[in-house]
Amino acid sequence: MKIGELLLKAALINPSQLQVALMEKNIYGHLRLGEILVLHGWLSQKTVDFFVEEWPKLIQDKEKRPLGFYLKKASLLTEEQIQQILKEQWQTSYRFGALAVLNGWVKQETVNFFLQYVNPDALQESSRIEKALRENPRESRGSSQFHSFKLVHKQLKQDLIDPEDLAEFDLHFDENQWLTPTKTPQQNPVKTRMRGHPMRG
């Protein structure tokens, strides 16, 4: 697979960016496609080098490594981000890829691309996860998003599903809100007092 098609499949560039890069490659014959993408600021040089030099070897390797290993090697996650994900993973029991997407650091398509090689069985659960999402639609933005996310995860556990990656679906959660607990609306103190002291007729 050519480098442009590979990066497109990994959702690291979009079709328009690839088209522009190919046109400029024809104009400036001395530049490679990856160099053009880097010059535009669409990708880092380390990411391009990873897919050109290391990825072909890694997919042939029978020993599969954790998802974070590949994302770090591709310069898509930093060591600090990985450590934060591992901490959140310990607190929530969610999968690594799901947390990476919910934090807004990688796209779900990118996680899926790597999972095809790291853990293909994870993608087989996509239809059942999608069903759980339909049965527990997002109510509104804000704290209810976290509540809906908990409902989905609870449903998956009830169905004995191993949700290898909720990152397979764009949940559109705000990364600043998804860890915020759902707040219980406060009762009106005036109405509470009135119920405790009914008016005499």
Q: Tell me 65's DSSP state.
A: -
Residues 129 and 161 in one domain: yes
- Is 96 part of a structural domain of the chain? yes
In the prediction, which pLDDT does 1 show? 79
Residues 6+ apart with CB under 8 A from 121: 164
| Cα four-point dihedral sign 163, 167, 170, 176 | positive
Split into its structural domains, the chain has a count of 2
Closest C-alpha to 173, from 195, 153, 198, 187: 153
Residues 88 and 162 in one domain: yes
* Cβ neighbours, 10 Å, residue 36: 22
Residues 102 and 161 in one domain: yes
Instruction: Say if residue 169 is exposed, middle or buried (CB neighbours under 10 Å; 0-12, 13-18, 19+).
Output: middle
Closest C-alpha to 69, from 96, 44, 45: 96
Domain carrying residue 151: 78-168
Residues 138 and 87 in one domain: yes
Residues 109 and 40 in one domain: no
C-alpha separations of 60 from 50, 69, 170, 197 in Å: 15, 16, 30, 76
Residues 109 and 152 in one domain: yes
- Is 183 part of a structural domain of the chain? no
What is the C-alpha separation between 95 and 98, in angstroms, rounded?
A: 5
Residues 86 and 160 in one domain: yes
In the prediction, which pLDDT does 171 show? 41
Q: Which two tokens stand for residue 162?
A: 């191993």
Closest C-alpha to 132, from 171, 76, 97, 103: 171
- Is 178 part of a structural domain of the chain? no
Residues 52 and 99 in one domain: no
- Is 175 part of a structural domain of the chain? no
What are the average pLDDT values for consecutive 10-residue runs of the chain, which has 201 residues? 93 97 93 96 97 93 90 97 94 88 93 87 52 51 44 48 41 40 46 45 45
Residues 54 and 83 in one domain: no
Q: What is the dihedral of CA 110, 112, 116, 120, to 10 degrees?
A: 160
Q: What is the dihedral of CA 83, 87, 89, 90, to 10 degrees?
A: 140
- Is 180 part of a structural domain of the chain? no
